[in-house]
Amino acid sequence: MTWFRQYHGIVAGRQVDVYFYRGPVLEIHVATRLQTRLGVTRPQSDTRFFAGLAGRRPLTLEGPASDLMAFALDETWAHELLTARRAVESLHRLTALDGAFTRQQVLLRPGTFVLQLSGNRRLFGLGVEPERVRTWTDDLLQLAAAAEQLPGPELVDSLSSLELTADRVRGGNPHVALWFGLGVLVFFLVIAVVIAVVIAVLSSTGTL
């Protein structure tokens, strides 16, 4: 798979989708009935910087969640979630930078909890063990269950047209893009050969 790998299945009664693509980026998606938005990560200067550019401010968190940085559409609901013990324990493990990646963040978008891992501490190879991926998946499932036990958020949202298009493209056949790219490459190679042959013929006949 030149572009990415993807895996799909049902785990603990929920749809789970895993995507791995260049970056490197690993995304684990767990379906949920929640239709709101939330982002949680560890405090990082660039996160604050880009959030400031977008006019967003992080939630003020206390207690066990005070070492997390969170942004939410429904701040009241998010505060409830970030005081739930099971949810906070899962978020701590999901955002801990103790592996090969340099950034780990949890995103809730309408209908899906996403663990997004990006960056690479190693010069060669990534070295993501299957057991670690399973632990991340279990924690994401636990987080989704804990979140759904709370009263639902009042501020909800739906997927944007851009998100829907991205999901549709990613869910398509990845070989299409590969063969299209190869086709374009072959086309230009043929054109280059034809031009070279024409120049050679004209040169031999003294036309040039």
Q: What is the pTM of this model?
A: 0.77
User: CA 205 from chain center: how many Å?
Assistant: 59
Per-domain boundaries in the chain: 4-168, 173-204
82-124: per-residue pLDDT in tens?
Answer: 999 999 999 999 999 876 788 899 999 999 999 999 887 665 6
Q: What is the rounded average pLDDT for all residues in the chain?
A: 83
47-78: per-residue pLDDT in tens?
Answer: 654 455 455 788 889 899 999 999 999 999 99
* Dihedrals phi, psi of 135, to nearest 5 degrees: -65, -45
Q: What is the pLDDT at residue 102?
A: 85
